[in-house]
Chains A and B, each alone.
Chain A
Amino acid sequence: MKRCPSLVDAGRRSFLTGAGLATAGAAAATVLPAQAKAAPALALVKYPASRLANLKDLTVNEPHNVAYPDVNAPGVLLKLGTRVPGGAGPDGDIVGFTTLCPHKGFLLTYSTGDKTLNCPGHYSRFDCEKGGQQIWGQATQNLPQYALRVDAKGDIYAEGVDELIYGRLSNVL
């Protein structure tokens, strides 16, 4: 894998573009107010079901860039070529991951040689064939992976993420 020194900056830029998209509505008050109304909230994040690609868009061992749950959360779809635990699609070999390193948020790059995602910031490595398990590194999470569904037309949908994505305290902003 060739190391690209501009990756980190590219990662930063991608955060900034479209940053105005999410302006959440009224948020809960911080300081305890003297009087407040009870407001129900869900226990879990409600994920969108987003079409990320179609089966025919994927080539074995070539990363297909996507974003999920929104445009500011870069990720990747991979057709690994061999069936893996949690793999989607007819061959059970399609997986999707965030590409923001859960350590410091640097953009991960894919190594076709051993099917890993690697962080140029502090050398963390994640195995795409093992559910994003950190092979070695600084992150205190394994790599957030997408819950994928493939429909009859071959459209690939992401419907959830199994760990917190770097840079957001709610996976859905």
Chain B
Amino acid sequence: MAYKRQIGQLPIIPANATVHNVVCHYCIVGCGYKAYSWDARYEGGTAPGENAFSVDLSRQQPAETAAWYAPSMYNIVKQNGRDVHIVIKPDKACVVNSGLGSVRGARIAEMSYSRQRNTQLQRLTDPQVWRYGQLQPTSWDDALDLVARVTAAVIAEQGEDGLFVSAFDHGGSGGGYENTWGTGKLYFGAMKVKNIRIHNRPAYNSEVHGSRDMGVGELNNCYEDAELADTLVAVGTNAMETQTNYFLNHWVPNLRGTSLDKKKTEFGNEPVAKARIVIVDPRRTVTVNACEVEAGKENVLHLALNSGTDLILFNAWLTYAAEKGWIDKAFIAASTKDFDKALAANTVSVADAARATGLSEADIVKAVTWIAEPKAGGARRRTMFAYEKGLIWGNDNYRTNQALVNLALATGNVGRPGGGCVRMGGHQEGYCRPSDAFVGRPAAYVDKLLIEGKGGVHHIWGCDHYKTTLNAMAFKRAYKMRTDLVKDAMASVPYGDRDAMVAAIMGAIRKGGLFSVDVDIVPTHIGEAAHVMLPAATSGEMNLTSMNGERRMRLTERYMDPPGQAMPDCLIAARIANHMERVLRAAGKAEAADKFKGFDWKTEEDAFMDGYAKNEKGGGFVTYDRLRAMGTNGFQEPATAYTDGKIVGTKRLFADGKFNKPDGKAVFAETRWRGLQAPGKQAEKDKFAFLINNGRANLVWQSAYLDVENELVMDRWPYPFIEMNPQDMGELGLKSGDLVEVYNENGSTQAMAYPTPTAKRKETFMLFGFPTGVQGNVVSAGVNEYVIPNYKQTWGNIRKIADAPEGVRHLTFKSKEYPA
């Protein structure tokens, strides 16, 4: 049977409950929530005067009511040492989500640390060190002394290149401006660490170098633009699952036609209609399904192209639009350069594009007509271009990204209402660090160097390579071997003899060992290899600032205590710096020690004021108090003023036609088609039977690290699904839910077969980054010229391992599509 909580009633929020601003810390959209908390010993009542909603709760409440919350929105937690009830529910007044809760955000309360209700007890509560053959709790000072001594010793022998770092660079949980500044000041300020990588890729690089190098920052529009566009173009983005409430609250109204009044108000006499949408994705997703339900099939064009051929399609669109004169000549002349040069280089016929993509010529032309053909009366068509991991983690990332921006610029769709050429995003953003220019480009391929035995100490911040990197099986093999060397050495001396311990560790490092320090909120898979684990606080256990996909910055207020001794990452970084300074000074290295000054922060607000307020554009206008007053709507970065008690923001970037280049002109890029770009991909395609396309799913998007201890989620997805065409399953003798092995020359992994009639033959889709079956095991080490991984173009074979195990037998395997 499906999991049921057997909860028939919940405590009522009293009228005097404390209210905090909360922004969901899982995905980029950053939906607004409110946390209501009150003392554990009482509750409100059903009479209007006795509850926070001022309504009669003895009556059934209507659809979309604010006066209801699900059991997943409730918990009992510690607040300043006292037990409190807490309800974290979506905020109707937030313009991002207007009261909608996603299947992830609506579980924030249930996914909080609660000893009272036994939720997320996996959370790390104490610093831990490898002692007597296992990780054991210790004090912060003891753990950080060991970290600082070993780090200093490695740097003394190998220089700063001997320190490897894996660190989040985003907002939301595990990130935010406070924590990226804390880690950034440590590794890019006090030190100059160049062997550093980001949480989801093997180097320190941008996923959208291509767009930025053209002068076009990638989060350039606002969510309202999706309500205003004539045409939406969605490339490699499955928005209903991975930007759920952005899609539901801002795309759907345009597809339904309910944003027409907004369009008329904004655009006057310009002809407007409900939106049409072009979706570029090899797979039919639930997003395609929902668009058809809302807009009608005649207004949805799903281009299910051959995997990895997006670039040639975009070049053909540009060529065709230019031939037809469907380009914005005035904008091109005033705000850009190199258009003619790029067009000449990128010219591709529709016929050639059809051959490479497998699409029909008619569909390619129909799409570009929807995108660029002027409206009645000659008005420019307003088209919004949105892309995400299908492009970012796809073939030839840099050029494909640029080819799409070329088209957006040529049609005058950047910086204007109803336009934009934007990534959809993963986490919220929250980047504030000293310059990383010294890292260089291409940046070091950190995973490769670690596999090759380079480096002596590895600091990990909120990353789990074992689950979410490419070539993951080879990485894990090498990493385990290197860290085991150090573990065995540590077991050879008494823990309390610090000098002997450091000497033993250094001895193992000289033999190829690696000392691993893992900062996280939960015991990760890579944490199995760690010698020191440091417990971090997450969003809501600390004050945390981030911005969402339209640059909307908010403050999530601290509404509960972190577990045990856990601290915000920024303060952990500061305490590491303090210990580095002390250790270096004791070793007589005063000059090196002095570099670690400036980390005397007591609170996350200290880190914020040291980082964001002093270093980010408009940061001087922003304080915690001001953000608190701006609630869940916040403001859109960059801030430009503080007027009448409000921070004034920026609705769209580049609205003045000036781009991020010294002369303000965006630069068109030459983006010739060159087939499957990453080394080895074409050969893999030729050799193996199945495309192992991969990506995220609604239920576990940016929340899987906590979902592993959530009953609702693990009941539904005990193993990662792999969507397969039923005929392919038949040929392999597979039934629904059977465990299969996916394998190729890179490695092997497992998944649960999910029959999917809409899946093309020999094209599968596997849930990415899932703990009970790591898709990255079968992804090759091949990257682009800037070390961007290519997860999507992966081919492998599939064979049955076993019949569906017990935890799978009760599951539904019906279609995920809404029956229209």
Q: Are B4 and A171 in contact (CB under 8 A)?
A: no
A105-B63 in contact given A28-B43, A114-B815 (Cβ < 8 Å): yes
Q: Are A114 and B814 in contact (CB under 8 A)?
A: yes
Q: Are A169 and B71 in contact (CB under 8 A)?
A: no
Binds A, one of B95-103, B268-276, B517-525, B600-608: B95-103
In the complex, A32 has a CB within 8 A of chain B:
yes
A142-B3 in contact given A44-B8, A105-B63 (Cβ < 8 Å): yes
Q: Are A16 and B62 in contact (CB under 8 A)?
A: yes
Shortest CB-to-CB span from B533 to chain A, Å, is 30
Give the docked Cα–Cα distance between A161 and B8 (Å): 7
Interface positions, chain A 117-165, Cβ under 8 Å from B, are 118, 121-123, 125, 127, 129-142, 144-145, 160-164
Q: Are B8 and A170 in contact (CB under 8 A)?
A: yes
Q: Are B286 and A29 in contact (CB under 8 A)?
A: no
Q: What are 25 A-B contacts with C-beta separation under 8 Å?
A: A12-B63, A16-B62, A19-B60, A22-B60, A24-B46, A28-B45, A30-B14, A30-B42, A30-B44, A105-B61, A105-B62, A105-B63, A105-B65, A121-B63, A123-B286, A127-B2, A130-B1, A135-B816, A136-B816, A137-B698, A140-B70, A160-B8, A168-B61, A169-B12, A172-B8
Chain B contacts for A27, CB-based, 8 A: 45-47, 50, 58
Q: Are B9 and A170 in contact (CB under 8 A)?
A: yes
Q: Lowest 5 CB-CB distances: which A-B pairs, in order?
A: A24-B58, A133-B2, A45-B8, A27-B45, A30-B50
In-complex Cβ contact of B61 among A15, A160, A171 (8 A): A15
Chain B contacts for A50, CB-based, 8 A: none
In the complex, A48 has a CB within 8 A of chain B:
no
Chain B contacts for A37, CB-based, 8 A: none
Q: Are B716 and A133 in contact (CB under 8 A)?
A: yes
Q: Are B716 and A106 in contact (CB under 8 A)?
A: no
In-complex Cβ contact of A123 among B46, B812, B818 (8 A): B818
Interface positions, chain B 774-820, Cβ under 8 Å from A, are 810-812, 814-816, 818-820
- Chain A interface size, as a band, is 35 or more
Chain A contacts for B57, CB-based, 8 A: 168-169
Shortest CB-to-CB span from A29 to chain B, Å, is 6
In the complex, A73 has a CB within 8 A of chain B:
yes
A173-B59 in contact given A28-B50, A122-B248, A123-B286 (Cβ < 8 Å): yes
Q: Are A169 and B2 in contact (CB under 8 A)?
A: no
Chain A contacts for B71, CB-based, 8 A: 140-141, 163-164
Shortest CB-to-CB span from A44 to chain B, Å, is 6
Q: Are A145 and B810 in contact (CB under 8 A)?
A: no
Give the docked Cα–Cα distance between A118 and B814 (Å): 12
Q: Are B50 and A129 in contact (CB under 8 A)?
A: no
Other CB < 8 Å A-B pairs besides A73-B60, A85-B1, A171-B8, 5 of them? A12-B62, A85-B810, A134-B2, A142-B2, A170-B9
Chain A contacts for B15, CB-based, 8 A: 30-31
In the complex, A11 has a CB within 8 A of chain B:
yes
A30-B61 in contact given A133-B812, A141-B712 (Cβ < 8 Å): no
Which of B61, B65, B290, B698 has the most A CB atoms < 10 Å from its CB? Answer: B61
A85's closest neighbor in chain B, by CB? Answer: B1
Q: Are B63 and A11 in contact (CB under 8 A)?
A: yes
Give the docked Cα–Cα distance between A95 and B230 (Å): 46
B 18-47 to A, binary, CB cutoff 8 A, 1 in contact else 0: 000000000000000000000000111111
Give the docked Cα–Cα distance between A1 and B110 (Å): 35
In the complex, B340 has a CB within 8 A of chain A:
no
In the complex, A88 has a CB within 8 A of chain B:
no
Give the docked Cα–Cα distance between A16 and B63 (Å): 11
A135-B814 in contact given A27-B46, A140-B70 (Cβ < 8 Å): yes
Chain A contacts for B10, CB-based, 8 A: 164, 169-170
Q: Are B814 and A167 in contact (CB under 8 A)?
A: no
Q: Are A104 and B64 in contact (CB under 8 A)?
A: yes
Q: Are A118 and B70 in contact (CB under 8 A)?
A: no
Q: Are A127 and B812 in contact (CB under 8 A)?
A: yes
Chain A contacts for B8, CB-based, 8 A: 44-45, 47, 160-161, 164, 170-172
B interface secondary structure, majority: loop
Q: Are B101 and A130 in contact (CB under 8 A)?
A: no
Chain A contacts for B56, CB-based, 8 A: 23
Shortest CB-to-CB span from A7 to chain B, Å, is 10
Give the docked Cα–Cα distance between A172 and B71 (Å): 16
- Chain B interface size, as a band, is 35 or more
B256's closest neighbor in chain A, by CB? Answer: A5
Chain B contacts for A49, CB-based, 8 A: none
In the complex, B188 has a CB within 8 A of chain A:
no
In-complex Cβ contact of B293 among A3, A24, A28 (8 A): A3
In-complex Cβ contact of A164 among B9, B14, B49, B248 (8 A): B9
Q: Are A127 and B9 in contact (CB under 8 A)?
A: no
Give the docked Cα–Cα distance between A45 and B7 (Å): 9
In-complex Cβ contact of A113 among B58, B240, B819 (8 A): B819
In the complex, A75 has a CB within 8 A of chain B:
no
A104-B63 in contact given A163-B4, A164-B70 (Cβ < 8 Å): yes
A 90-117 to B, binary, CB cutoff 8 A, 1 in contact else 0: 0000000000101111110001011010
In the complex, A72 has a CB within 8 A of chain B:
yes
A169-B9 in contact given A106-B63, A141-B72 (Cβ < 8 Å): yes
Give the docked Cα–Cα distance between A62 and B61 (Å): 28
In the complex, B107 has a CB within 8 A of chain A:
yes
Q: Are A162 and B60 in contact (CB under 8 A)?
A: no
Chain A contacts for B64, CB-based, 8 A: 104-105
B 235-250 to A, binary, CB cutoff 8 A, 1 in contact else 0: 0000010001000100
In the complex, A86 has a CB within 8 A of chain B:
yes
Shortest CB-to-CB span from A17 to chain B, Å, is 10
Give the docked Cα–Cα distance between A30 and B716 (Å): 38
In-complex Cβ contact of A118 among B68, B73, B818 (8 A): B818
Shortest CB-to-CB span from A148 to chain B, Å, is 14
Q: Are B62 and A137 in contact (CB under 8 A)?
A: no
Q: Are B811 and A133 in contact (CB under 8 A)?
A: yes
